[in-house]
Copies of this chain bind each other. A is one copy, B any other.
Amino acid sequence: MTGKLFVIGTGPGNPDQMTPEARTAVSEATEFYGYGPYLDRLELRVDQRRLASDNREELDRASTALRAAASGATVCVVSGGDPGVFAMAAAVCEAIDNGPEEWRAVDLTVLPGITAMLAVAARVGAPLGHDFCTISLSDNLKPWNIIENRLLCAARAGFVIALYNPISKARPWQLGTAFDLLRSELPFATPVIFGRAAGRPDERITVQQLGEADAAIADMATCVIIGSSETKIIARDTLSDLVYTPRFISGGNR
């Protein structure tokens, strides 16, 4: 007998940024698997089981959830942000790919969520208004030389760059090194947005110039957006500056 497996995203943490379809899945499921702070964003009922695990245990968590769903439970795997962006949907697929045949028959539904870069971008204007790329700076996931190559390709292509997992205790130097590398390709005044906890009470949004951007501002909960050479700042007297990347690059057919 096969149950059901939802993989949902809570959005960046503001409950009003979680979609109604994700909320419906939460009310339907009876077992919840995820990183503790993400599970804390849900208001579970007493008849719903909360199975928190650590940040680094994604594949184990996915396998346990699949096992429960395969034996008939209605299960919800919970990510922060969007489950498809550096989050649990890929871990669940990986577990299915390498797991027993019966996991392929599990009724799997992935429900999208607001990922951090969209929430951060909205708070400052429209820095992702033209082509952009999204890179995880975690060198647990891939060798550092691949990350360097991707950063250089991205800058040379003219992409705005959104960085996830910019820094942690185990990865203290990577963001500073990334800034150094990008300084060789992009203008001094390129806007860098540090967006921490967007939409939450402890939100902190800082905009600096790439030439003097300070990696120490970032922490694990920060999404960093680095502009392209097209990205502009609009100074406002009474309100905070806006940052946007224009929709047009001259030479188009407009």
A contact residues vs B (CB 8 Å cutoff): 11, 14-21, 24, 58, 82-87, 89-94, 96-97, 104-105, 107-108, 110-115, 118-119, 121-123, 125-136, 138-143, 146, 149-150, 153-154, 156-159, 232, 234-239, 242, 244-249, 251-254
User: Closest residue to A14 on the B side, CB-wise?
Assistant: B21
Q: Which of A86, A110, A126, A242 has the most CB of B within 10 A?
A: A126
Give Cα distance in the complex from A21 to B84, angstroms: 22
B93 with A234: CB separation less than 8 A: yes
User: Closest residue to A153 on the B side, CB-wise?
Assistant: B157
Copy number in the complex reads 2
> Would you list 7 pairs from A and B whose C-beta atoms are within 8 A, ordered by A residue?
A16-B24, A17-B19, A83-B126, A85-B128, A91-B247, A93-B129, A105-B239
Give Cα distance in the complex from A111 to B230, angstroms: 23
Taking the closest CB of chain B, its distance from the CB of A74, in whole angstroms, is 17
List residues of chain B with CB within 8 A of the CB of A254: 140-141
A93 with B126: CB separation less than 8 A: yes
List residues of chain B with CB within 8 A of the CB of A154: 133, 153, 157
